[in-house]
Amino acid sequence: MAAPSAERERRRFGQRLLTDPARLFQHNAWDNVEWSEEQESSARSKVQENSSQLLPQDKQAFFSNGLVAVQRWLRNFMLLECSWDFWPWMFPEEYEVNAKRYWDDFYKIHENGFFKDRHWLFTEFPELAPNRTSSQNGDSLHEFSTKEESNSDGLGRCENGHCSLETRTEGQFNLLQSTAEVCTEDLAAQEHRELTQRAGDYPGSAASYRVLEVGCGAGNTVFPILQTNNDPGLFVYCCDFSTTAVDLVQNNAEYDSSRCFAFVHDLCNDQSPFPMPEESLDIVILIFVLSAILPEKMQSVVSRLSRLLKPGGMILLRDYGRYDLAQLRFKKGQCLSENFYVRGDGTRVYFFTQDELNHLFTTAGLEKIQNVVDRRLQVNRGKQMTMYRVWIQCKYRKPGTPRA
Ligand SMILES: C[S@@+](CC[C@H](N)C(=O)[O-])C[C@H]1O[C@@H](n2cnc3c(N)ncnc32)[C@H](O)[C@@H]1O
């Protein structure tokens, strides 16, 4: 019985298979593309080449000791005076300490015009709208390839993420602004703690189906869920550590506080409470988010999220796979650690294997429902160019019988 189920999983990614090479330029994208030995080995060499200049450990230790202000001053100076490629090599800690700031800058520049809405979600993850029929779910391939994947990294970003560096201003690194944000977060955390302490009295406590999206950005997943799933028992939480992103969600005309609760939360801060108790969620969804987190911190993030799930609840993930085009396009000097890179705008990205994700989820006590690799060939028909994308999609379930 295993084979038909695996077959069904594969078909979900789309049915457009390239069986006749002569038809290559007849469509925008082809699904489940097989990689040849040479292609795999060429990808491996490109990654070896672009990761050959990692930051030496002694420099990491030196710069991790509270020199953030000096780093920032130096960084601003160097951005004016030096080549960008030099920066990641010198100051990798910068990207961890200031991760939130880089994403804030990203959303200040792009607001909600960057990541497109993702209606393909319901084909790949019917759990987000369990009452919909499969015929209502549409053609995921069409939605995904025409709206998003025509750009270089599957998220609609500019080439290699290098779109926003030149548009930064000194004001975006203003320390006063940073202090104000920290205070707002402290107050929000205190408010959440008080809410969860009062058992049964938290946002969405009356709902029968609770979904949390982590790293929600501008809401390109949350709003399609709210539009598509009309179950009156649905409540959607979403969080991001970027206050700018959360503001964008809260100020969206479609934000409805009776069905949704957006809050600022840093996944890497395990002291920061969630607004809902443990074992209260049906679904946690991560779309291209885990890859933005420092690899050493991923396990504790996943384990903490898993504790929020009800027995029978699921984590859904879609993220970058090893040797995706975006990984191969990085240049020397942008690699922070193995398979972990910094983009030109200061945001970071990791490229996973299926085994790594399986290890993270099973260590968190979850059982595999799906862990598939989506190898897609995108075609730029105008330029007669081909681009090989690799994404991984996972569903992992918390064991136990769902409570009524
Ligand atoms: C590539 S974007 C994806 C956004 C969104 N999931 C979507 O699909 O449009 C990654 C998101 O993760 C958020 N993020 C990165 N690290 C985070 C952390 N430690 N805690 C919370 N959010 C984080 C970023 O602010 C950003 O919004």
Query: Where do the structural domains in the chain lie, given as residue ranges?
Result: 95-127+202-322+342-373+389-398
| Entry pTM | 0.78
User: For atom 1 of ligand 1, which residue has the closest CA?
Assistant: 288
Query: Cα–Cα distance between 139 and 361 in angstroms, integer?
Result: 29
Q: Per-residue pLDDT tens for 107-135?
A: 999 887 666 667 689 989 999 998 876 55
Q: Is 9 a residue whose pLDDT tops 70?
A: no
Q: Which atom of ligand 1 is the closest one to the Cα of 286?
A: 6
Q: Per-residue pLDDT tens for 215-241?
A: 999 999 999 999 999 999 999 999 999
Q: How far is the CA of 176 from the centre of ligand 1 (A)?
A: 24
207: its two tokens:
């709902």
* Residue type for position 117: D
- Bin 361: left if φ > 0, else alpha if -120 < ψ < 50, else beta: alpha
Q: In sequence order, what are the beta bridge partners of 63?
A: none
Query: Cα–Cα distance between 31 and 15 in angstroms, integer?
Result: 7
CA distances from 9 to 38, 42, 395 (A): 27, 29, 11
List the one residue out of 231, 66, 155 whose CA is nearest residue 389.
Answer: 155
List the one residue out of 336, 351, 343, 340 whose CA is nearest residue 55.
Answer: 336
Ligand 1 pocket member 288 (CB < 6 A)? yes
List the one residue out of 211, 234, 182 whose CA is nearest residue 305.
Answer: 211
Ligand 1 pocket member 377 (CB < 6 A)? no
Ligand 1 pocket member 220 (CB < 6 A)? yes
260: its two tokens:
């949704």
Placement of tokens 């880089």 in the chain: 102
Max avg pLDDT among 38-47, 301-310, 375-384 = 301-310
For ligand 1, mutation pick of 95, 103, 238 (most atoms within 8 Å of CB): 103
Q: Is 180 a residue whose pLDDT tops 50?
A: no
Pairing of strands 234-240, 309-320: unpaired
Predicted pLDDT of residue 192: 55
CATH superfamily of 95-127+202-322+342-373+389-398: Vaccinia Virus protein VP39 (3.40.50.150)
Q: Do 88 and 162 form a contact (C-beta atoms < 8 A)?
A: no
* Residue type for position 360: L
Ligand 1 pocket member 103 (CB < 6 A)? yes
Query: Cα–Cα distance between 173 and 89 in angstroms, integer?
Result: 20
Instruction: Using DSSP, state whether 209 is helix, strand or coil.
Output: strand
Instruction: Using DSSP, state whether 11 is helix, strand or coil.
Output: helix
Per the prediction, the chain carries an average pLDDT of 77
Q: How far is the CA of 381 from the centre of ligand 1 (A)?
A: 31
Ligand 1 pocket member 89 (CB < 6 A)? no
Query: How many CA atoms lie less than 13 Å away from 389 in the CB half-sphere?
Result: 26
- Report ipTM for this prediction: 0.99
